[in-house]
């Protein structure tokens, strides 16, 4: 790190040379520092260095040290976003190495590192979702496994959800073409939406609150609900409505108030994106929603009112 620090005032080529050397160091701390500096100064890498950079990142993604692998991902995301669309294509070949970082992190319950990895992927998906096209189904399956794993932290599960929602935002055709995306995403969103009121079974705390929406933006149920809204708006009713109504009727007949609540909130969440199709099935929708106004649980009654309003 002292070597790197000593050249910060020098010209970019000299710094770049030192960083390349540092990324190959036998000391994982030095390798990590090199990628961290790459991450904050991606502009130092010029076109004539592309082949060398390709090798440096490829090696970094396969580093034996977890922190170095994550720093390499973050540096690559920063670098990739700084180059032209034409130049980006050259780096598509690195995607398999990038995605291979993920499974060992999940297996080792490294929620914090896995969470960082998903953030880097979200940034990449925002600028070039098509780079993941050939391995998209693999990424969908892995992300779904993370979202559904309650042993992992809420943050990493929500980041995995956000990655998948980002693809819906920026590459809806790719999502529609995947055979598992819509069904699995709706299933996981509904599951997250049942994660509500865990310490407030009879809704005593919720009833006393002045804010009935309880804007708990970091909560799983809110993340699931917001994702359903995005999916409906980006993928449309033809895709999302059938996937949702595979679950909604049975959830409405569940003995668990959380299931009934989630089903009603899902109807509200998709109502804008699925409006045309839902209007055609209005009688069936009302048959599910109206009885909820007499539900014994106050949060379900509120969700019923909310669904009717939408």
Give residue 256's region: left, alpha or beta (phi > 0; psi -120 to 50). Answer: beta
As a residue count, the chain comes to 310
Q: What is the pLDDT of residue 2?
A: 39
Q: What is the pLDDT of residue 203?
A: 64
Structure-block tokens of residue 73: 């991902």
Q: Which domains does the chain show, CATH number per domain? A: 180-199+207-310 (1.25.10.10)
Q: What is the pLDDT of residue 131?
A: 98
Q: Label each residue of the chain as H, E or C.
A: CHHHHHCCCCCHHHHHHHHHHHHCCCCHHHHHHHHHHHHHCHHHCCHHHHHHHHHHHHHHHCCCCHHHHHHHHHHHHHHHHHCCHHHHHHHHHHHHHHHCCHHHHHHCCCHHHHHHHHHHHHHHHHHCHHHHHHHHHHHHHHHHHHHCCCCCCHHHHHHHHHHHHHHHHHCHHHHHHCCCHHHHHHHHHHHHHCCCCCCCCCCHHHHHCCCCCCCCCCCHHHHHHHHHHHHHHHHCHHHHHHHHHCCHHHHHCCCCHHHHHHHHHHHHHHCCCCHHHHHHCHHHHHHHHHHHHHCCCHHHHHHHHHHHHC
Task: Give yes or no for a contact between 81 and 127, defined as CB atoms under 8 angstroms apart.
Answer: yes
- Mean pLDDT of each 10-residue bin along the chain, 310 residues long: 42 75 95 93 75 92 97 96 93 98 96 98 98 98 98 97 99 98 98 83 63 63 97 97 96 96 97 92 91 94 90
Q: What is the pLDDT of residue 14?
A: 75
Q: What is the pLDDT of residue 15?
A: 77
CA-to-CA distance for 28 and 64, rounded, in angstroms?
Answer: 9
């Amino acid at each position: 790190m002292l070597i790197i620090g000593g050249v910060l005032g020098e010209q970019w080529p000299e710094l770049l040379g030192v960083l390349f050397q540092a990324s190959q160091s036998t000391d994982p701390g030095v390798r990590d520092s090199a990628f961290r500096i790459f991450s904050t100064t991606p502009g130092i890498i010029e076109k004539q260095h592309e082949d060398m950079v390709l090798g440096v990142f490829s090696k970094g993604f396969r580093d034996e040290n977890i922190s170095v692998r994550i720093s390499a991902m973050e540096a690559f995301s920063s670098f990739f976003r700084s180059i032209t669309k034409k130049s980006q294509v050259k780096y598509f070949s690195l995607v398999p190495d990038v995605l291979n970082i993920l499974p060992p992190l999940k297996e080792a319950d490294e929620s914090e590192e896995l969470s960082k990895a998903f953030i880097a992927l979200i940034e990449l998906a925002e600028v070039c979702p098509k780079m993941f096209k050939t391995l998209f189904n693999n990424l969908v399956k892995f992300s779904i496994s993370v979202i559904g794993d309650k042993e992992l932290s809420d943050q990493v599960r929500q980041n995995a959800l956000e990655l998948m929602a980002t693809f819906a935002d920026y590459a809806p055709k790719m999502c529609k073409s995947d055979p598992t995306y819509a069904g699995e995403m709706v299933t996981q969103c509904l599951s997250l939406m049942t994660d509500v009121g865990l310490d407030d079974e009879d809704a005593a705390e919720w009833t006393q609150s002045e804010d009935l929406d309880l804007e708990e933006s970091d909560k799983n149920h809110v993340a699931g609900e917001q994702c359903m809204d995005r999916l409906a708006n980006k993928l449309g009713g033809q895709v999302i409505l059938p996937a949702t109504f595979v679950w909604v009727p049975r959830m409405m007949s569940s003995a668990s108030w959380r299931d009934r609540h989630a089903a009603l909130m899902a109807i509200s969440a998709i109502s804008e994106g699925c409006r045309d199709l839902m209007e055609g099935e209005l009688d069936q929708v009302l048959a599910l929603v109206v009885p909820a106004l007499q539900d014994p649980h106050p949060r379900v009654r509120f969700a019923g009112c909310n669904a009717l309003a939408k």
